[in-house]
């Protein structure tokens, strides 16, 4: 069955006249036995990077935007960027696109031209679309002449992509072949699609950032070992608190909470030390070493940890500011600040 995808880049407001236009177009296509699938970009902003793969299932698409201030808006721009970075260029070559731009301010023609140029540079085939300025939504939606125009535009679009009507060549198409090739890795369409899914996965991106941070710190420590002379190392070591000092401070300020038993692992990256804190409703156990039973793993530096022990800041505030990183149940960070009153 022939399929048309609609990508809506507006904010989804009830009073947005773009919704009315998309609805009228969908009605016409439904009557012509065309399956219509609509993607609201505002519903899943983090997943926009993975949307170019949905173009493979479409015979034609509609890009619909609302001009509320200037241009096509950030969501549609993000979608087109994802098409450029992760889309299959062979798919674009045979894909017809109808632009729909409805403005409640100035600039519908400019936004319309932007969509046309973008699709040409991607290698696709733009069709005649709709652009209009709407001052009063009610008057626009109840005007039978406007409804008739929208229906005729939808019918023209249907004939264009079903009959594969050709168009005159454009200089924008030449740009993509000769000048505007993306400076990207030589990836297959399958690899590009997989990369777009990784980019839209927050957990994956966060894990990569943590790994990079850990490697960076490791190499800094390695370089520091080679460049520091013995006197600098001795001076640095002398200025560091002893193991006993940290442990005594934690035990002194421990404030047990009934029915709370937790384990914290704190890695002091610049000291290459790991402090384990195990608490229950009565006792606290602190030692340097490793444990497999921890509720949250914290990575920070000596100065940040000392600021927490001195009461200058809290563990949760340090995490929110990016001064330390944590893995595990983030809710436990609040409990740490209640267990220890510095």
**What is the mean pLDDT of the segment spanning 254-281?**
87
Residue with the two structure tokens 């002194």: 252
Q: Please state the pTM of the whole predicted model.
A: 0.58
Q: Can you tell me the distance from the alpha carbon of 337 to that of 330, in angstroms, rounded to the nearest whole number?
A: 12
> For residue 113, is pLDDT > 80?
yes
**Per-residue pLDDT at 167:** 83
Question: Each residue of 163-180: b (16+ CB within 10 Å) or e?
Answer: eeeeeeeeebbeebeeee
**Per-residue pLDDT at 202:** 61
Task: Among 137-146, 264-273, 303-312, name the most confident range.
Answer: 137-146
Short-list 25, 53, 51, CA closest to 127: 25
Short-list 246, 320, 326, 315, CA closest to 286: 246
Short-list 20, 34, 56, 18, CA closest to 159: 34
**What is the mean pLDDT of the segment spanning 266-292?**
88
**Per-residue pLDDT at 237:** 41
> For residue 337, is pLDDT > 90?
no
Among the residue ranges 175-184, 222-231, 252-261, 269-278, the one predicted with the least confidence is: 222-231
> For residue 272, is pLDDT > 50?
yes
Report residue 204's pLDDT band, with 50, 70 and 90 as the boundaries: low
Digit-coded pLDDT (tens) for 14-26: 999 999 999 999 9
> For residue 67, is pLDDT > 90?
yes
**Per-residue pLDDT at 320:** 78
Residue ranges of domains in the chain: 3-199, 202-237, 240-339
Among the residue ranges 65-69, 158-162, 233-237, 255-259, the one predicted with the least confidence is: 233-237
Q: Can you tell me the distance from the alpha carbon of 122 to that of 189, in angstroms, rounded to the nearest whole number?
A: 14
Q: Can you tell me the distance from the alpha carbon of 214 to that of 296, in angstroms, rounded to the nearest whole number?
A: 17
Short-list 91, 30, 82, CA closest to 55: 91
What is the separation, in whole angstroms, between the first and last Cα of the chain?
Answer: 67
> For residue 236, is pLDDT > 50?
no
Report residue 234's pLDDT band, with 50, 70 and 90 as the boundaries: very low
Number of helical (H) and strand (E) elements in the chain, helices listed first: 14, 11
> For residue 31, is pLDDT > 90?
yes
- Is the domain spanning 3-199 CATH 3.40.50.360? The answer is yes
In whole numbers, what is the pLDDT of the chain averaged over residues?
Answer: 84
| Cβ neighbourhood burial of 66 (10 Å; 0-12, 13-18, 19+) | buried
> For residue 51, is pLDDT > 70?
yes
Q: Is 176 helix (H, G, I), strand (E, B) or coil?
A: helix
Ramachandran region of residue 53, left (φ > 0), alpha (ψ -120 to 50) or beta?
Answer: alpha
Name the fold adopted by 240-339. Answer: Nonspecific Lipid-transfer Protein; Chain A (3.30.1050)
Q: Indicate the length of the chain as a whole number.
A: 342
Residue with the two structure tokens 């902003």: 45
DSSP H or E run through 298: strand 296-300
Pick the more confident residue, 190 or 95: 95
Instruction: Answer for the pair 159, 165: CB distance below 8 angstroms, yes or no.
Output: yes
* Share above pLDDT 90 across residues of the chain, in percent, rounded to a whole number: 47
Among the residue ranges 74-83, 212-221, 330-339, the one predicted with the least confidence is: 212-221
Among the residue ranges 98-107, 203-212, 279-288, the one predicted with the least confidence is: 203-212
Cα R_g (the chain), whole angstroms = 29
Task: Supply 190's token pair.
Answer: 């399958």
């Amino acid at each position: 069955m022939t399929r048309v995808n609609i990508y809506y880049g507006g904010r989804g407001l009830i009073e947005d006249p773009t919704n009315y236009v998309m609805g009228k177009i969908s009605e016409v296509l439904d009557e012509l036995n065309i399956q219509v699938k609509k993607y609201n970009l505002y519903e899943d902003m983090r997943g926009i990077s993975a949307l170019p793969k949905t173009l493979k299932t479409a015979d034609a698409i509609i890009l619909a935007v609302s001009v509320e201030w200037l241009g096509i808006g950030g969501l549609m721009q993000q979608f087109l960027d994802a098409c450029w970075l992760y889309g299959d260029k062979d798919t674009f070559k045979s894909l017809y696109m109808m632009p729909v731009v409805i403005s409640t301010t100035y600039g519908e023609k400019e936004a319309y031209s932007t969509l046309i140029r973008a699709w040409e540079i991607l290698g696709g085939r733009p069709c005649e679309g709709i652009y209009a300025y709407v001052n009063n939504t009610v008057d626009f939606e109840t005007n039978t002449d406007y409804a008739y125009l929208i229906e005729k535009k939808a019918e023209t679009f249907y004939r264009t992509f079903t009959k594969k009507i050709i168009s005159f060549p454009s200089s924008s198409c030449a740009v993509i072949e000769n000048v505007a090739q993306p400076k990207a890795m030589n990836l297959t369409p399958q690899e590009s699609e997989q990369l777009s899914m990784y980019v839209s996965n927050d957990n994956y991106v966060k894990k990569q950032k943590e790994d990079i941070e850990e490697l960076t710190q490791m190499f800094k420590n390695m370089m520091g070992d080679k460049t520091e002379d013995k006197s600098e190392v001795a001076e640095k070591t002398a200025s560091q608190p002893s193991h006993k000092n940290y442990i005594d401070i934690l035990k002194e300020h421990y404030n047990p909470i009934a029915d709370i038993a937790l384990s914290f692992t704190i890695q002091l990256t610049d000291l290459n030390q790991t402090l384990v804190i195990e608490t229950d409703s009565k006792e606290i156990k602190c030692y340097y070493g490793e444990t497999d039973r921890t509720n949250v793993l914290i990575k920070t530096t000596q100065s940040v940890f000392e600021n927490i022990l001195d009461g200058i800041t809290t563990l949760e505030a340090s995490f929110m500011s990016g001064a330390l990183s944590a893995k595990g149940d983030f809710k436990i960070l609040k409990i740490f600040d209640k267990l220890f009153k510095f």
